[in-house]
Structure 1
Amino acid sequence: MQHVAEVQKVCKAPSISIGILHEGKVLYRKSLGLRDVESNLDANSDTSYLIGSCSKLLTAAAVGILAESQLSWTDLISKHVPEFNPVGDPRIGQQATIMDACRHSTGLANPNAIFFSPQGTLTIREEDHVALLNALPTSNDSGQRFNSWWNYSNAAFGVLSNVIKAVSGMHFCGFVRQRLCQPLTMDQTLVTEAEVRSNNNIAYPYVQMENGHWARIENGLTSEIHEDIIGRNSGSRTLYGHSGITEGSVATTYLIPSSHSAIVVLSNAAYAGDASDATSQIMLQALFDLQPSVNLVAAIELSRNERLERHEKMISTWQENRDVSKYKVTPEELVGSYIGLNVSRINIIRSDKSPSGLAVVFADQESSRCELEPYNSDSLSYLPMKHEETIARGMIDWDYWTVGIFNFVRQDRDRQQGDVVGLEWKWDEYDYPALWEKEQ
Structure 2
Amino acid sequence: MDQEQDAALQRFLSCLPHIHQIHSICQTPSITFGVIHSGHVILKKSIGHRDSGLTLPANEDSMYMIGSCSKMFTTAAVGILVDEGKLSWTDPIQKHLPEFNPEGDPRIGREADIIDCLRHSTGLASPTMLTVGPRGTVASNEEDLIPILNVMPSAHANGEQRFNREWIYNNAVVGLVALIVERITGQRFADFVRERILEPLGLNRTAMTRSDVENDGNVAVPCTKLSNGQFCQLLDISWPCEGHSPLLAGMGMRSSLNDMLTWCIAVLDAERSENDPEYQRSVPNNPLKQMTRVRRGYWARPSDDPEFSKAAAYGMGWFRVELPSSMLGSFSGNSLSQSKEHRLHLQYILGKENAAAAPFPTVGHTGGMRGSIFSVYTFPNTQSAVVTATNGRDLGDASDFTAQLLIQALFDLKPLVDLRSWAEKEAELAATQYREYIERPWEENRRLDDPERDCMIYVGDYRGFNDRFTLSIAMSDLPSTSLSVVFNHRLASECPLVFYQTDVYSFFQPDEDYSKMQAIIAKEYKQMLLKFRVDEGGRADGLWWQWDTEAEPAWLGKLAK
Residue 88, structure 1, aligned to residue 104, structure 2: yes
1:260-409 → structure 2 map (5 Å cutoff): 260-314=383-437, 315-342=439-466, 343-353=468-478, 357-395=482-520, 397-409=521-533
Identity %: 36
Q: Report the residue type matching 2:550 in the other structure.
A: Y
Conserved? CA contact 1:16–1:276, under 8 Å = yes
* CA offset digits 1:360-381 (Å, max 9, x no partner): 1112222111111111121000
Structure with a larger share of its residues in strand: 1
Q: CA RMSD in A?
A: 2.0
- Specify whether residues 225 and 77 from structure 1 end up closer, same or farther in structure 2 by C-alpha distance, changes over 3 A only: farther
CA distance in 1, matches of 2:541, 2:105: 26
1:178-193 → structure 2 map (5 Å cutoff): 178-193=195-210
Q: CA deviation at 1:325?
A: 2.0
Match of 2:162 among 139, 145, 148: 145
Normalising by structure 2, we get a TM-score of 0.74
Match of 2:66 among 51, 54, 70: 51
CA distance in 2, matches of 1:306, 1:64: 41
CA distance in 2, matches of 1:183, 1:387: 45
Conserved? CA contact 1:49–1:202, under 8 Å = yes
Conserved? CA contact 1:336–1:347, under 8 Å = yes
1:212-291 → structure 2 map (5 Å cutoff): 212-219=229-236, 224=332, 226=334, 227=338, 228=345, 229-235=349-355, 236-291=359-414
Name the SS for the 2:43 alignment partner: strand
Conserved? CA contact 1:105–1:150, under 8 Å = yes
Residue 205, structure 1, aligned to residue 222, structure 2: yes
Name the SS for the 1:349 alignment partner: strand
Name the SS for the 2:49 alignment partner: strand
Moved more, 113-122 or 100-109: 113-122
State the match for 1:115 in structure 2. Answer: 131
- Specify whether residues 161 and 405 from structure 1 end up closer, same or farther in structure 2 by C-alpha distance, changes over 3 A only: same
Q: Report the residue type matching 1:181 in the other structure.
A: L
Moved more, 48-57 or 164-173: 164-173
State the match for 2:86 in structure 1. Answer: 70
Conserved? CA contact 2:49–2:55, under 8 Å = yes
CA distance in 2, matches of 1:167, 1:233: 49
CA distance in 1, matches of 2:56, 2:497: 38
* CA offset digits 1:52-71 (Å, max 9, x no partner): 11111111111111121211
Match of 2:152 among 125, 128, 136: 136
Q: CA deviation at 1:352?
A: 4.8
Moved more, 386-395 or 153-162: 386-395
Match of 2:552 among 426, 432, 435: 432
Name the SS for the 2:353 alignment partner: coil
Conserved? CA contact 2:82–2:88, under 8 Å = yes
Query: How many pairs does the alignment contain?
Result: 435
State the match for 1:99 in structure 2. Answer: 115
* CA offset digits 1:242-262 (Å, max 9, x no partner): 112223111011111111111
List runs of 5+ in structure 1 lacking aligned partners.
none
* CA offset digits 1:113-147 (Å, max 9, x no partner): 22111122112112222122112222223522211
CA distance in 1, matches of 2:493, 2:367: 23
Moved more, 194-203 or 261-270: 194-203
CA distance in 1, matches of 2:353, 2:543: 54
Q: Report the residue type matching 1:72 in the other structure.
A: S
State the match for 1:126 in structure 2. Answer: 142
Name the SS for the 1:263 alignment partner: strand
* CA offset digits 1:292-338 (Å, max 9, x no partner): 22221211221222233332222221122211222422212100001
Name the SS for the 1:179 alignment partner: helix
Name the SS for the 2:176 alignment partner: helix
CA distance in 2, matches of 1:59, 1:17: 24
- Specify whether residues 345 and 403 from structure 1 end up closer, same or farther in structure 2 by C-alpha distance, changes over 3 A only: same
* CA offset digits 1:163-187 (Å, max 9, x no partner): 1111222211111111111111111
Q: Report the residue type matching 2:407 in the other structure.
A: L
* CA offset digits 1:228-251 (Å, max 9, x no partner): 432222134111121122231110
Q: Report the residue type matching 2:385 in the other structure.
A: A
Q: Report the residue type matching 2:392 in the other structure.
A: A
* CA offset digits 1:197-248 (Å, max 9, x no partner): 1322100111111111211112597974655432222134111121122231
Conserved? CA contact 1:331–1:356, under 8 Å = no
CA distance in 1, matches of 2:410, 2:88: 37
- Specify whether residues 204 and 146 from structure 1 end up closer, same or farther in structure 2 by C-alpha distance, changes over 3 A only: same
State the match for 1:162 in structure 2. Answer: 179
CA distance in 1, matches of 2:493, 2:376: 31
Moved more, 30-39 or 167-176: 30-39
